[in-house]
Chains A and B, each alone.
Chain A
């Protein structure tokens, strides 16, 4: 159903950002199933929330 091939010309700003993309992370992710990608995303969210909680506690400490 989805069309193939991107129709927009290369954007110089995006091309500059592409140089900073961590391809190893992408390769790792592309090996996962869709469910595994979502599970990883939820685990990252949980981790980020825990870090925020810890940071808040740290800032509130006397």
Chain B
């Protein structure tokens, strides 16, 4: 199980700059669908890479699905060399995304994000409209039901 509360508190406490996207963002907006992991788009500044790596390292981040024993250490250098990381941690599954298809990077998404307080943690979540656009742009059949639900939520919101 992914402990969303602990992960969000941890990242916020460490002052990591990130935007909640994916299924967790859909949950914030009211989706009733089950999601297994926390997807975040993180700012790729040097300071943020250090903060992110330091915050996660006590929780044994490891590449999800990688063979046991594969050498992997999540530090700022590793983050700098890569872009998107699908991780398993002691707190659950966490996807660190440097950018997302159809949405771009942290800076590109920030203007479409909303501040939200979750479990006392101040975070940003991708706005509902942009979340729909990004999921549509990805064009994955597995997202069709999720997009339909998000558009229903948007319609409900707009009709008051």
A45 to B93, CA, bound (A): 12
A20 to chain B, nearest CB (A): 7
Known A2-B113, A34-B118, A45-B1; judge A18-B151 contact (CB<8 A).
yes
Q: How far is the CA of A42 from the CA of B115 in the complex (A)?
A: 22
Pick the interface stretch among B52-60, B64-72, B81-89, B129-137: B129-137
Q: Name B112-150 residues within 8 Å CB distance of A.
A: 112-119, 127-130, 132-133, 136, 144-145, 147-149
Could you say which residues of chain B place their CB within 8 Å of the CB of A45?
Answer: 1-2, 34, 36
Nearest-neighbor residue (CB-CB) of B133 within chain A: A8
Closest to B146 in A: A17
Quick check: A38 and B119 within 8 Å, CB to CB? Answer: yes
Residues on B with beta carbons closer than 8 Å to the beta carbon of A37: 27-28, 30
Chain A residues within 8 Å of chain B by Cβ, number:
37
Residues of B within 8 A of A (CB): 1-5, 24, 27-28, 30-32, 34-36, 110-119, 127-130, 132-133, 136, 144-145, 147-149, 151-154, 156
The contact sample of 28 A-B pairs, CB cut-off 8 A, is A1-B112, A1-B114, A2-B113, A3-B111, A3-B129, A6-B151, A6-B154, A8-B132, A8-B133, A14-B144, A14-B151, A18-B148, A26-B30, A30-B30, A32-B30, A35-B118, A37-B30, A38-B4, A38-B24, A41-B4, A41-B24, A41-B27, A42-B1, A42-B2, A42-B3, A42-B4, A42-B5, A48-B34
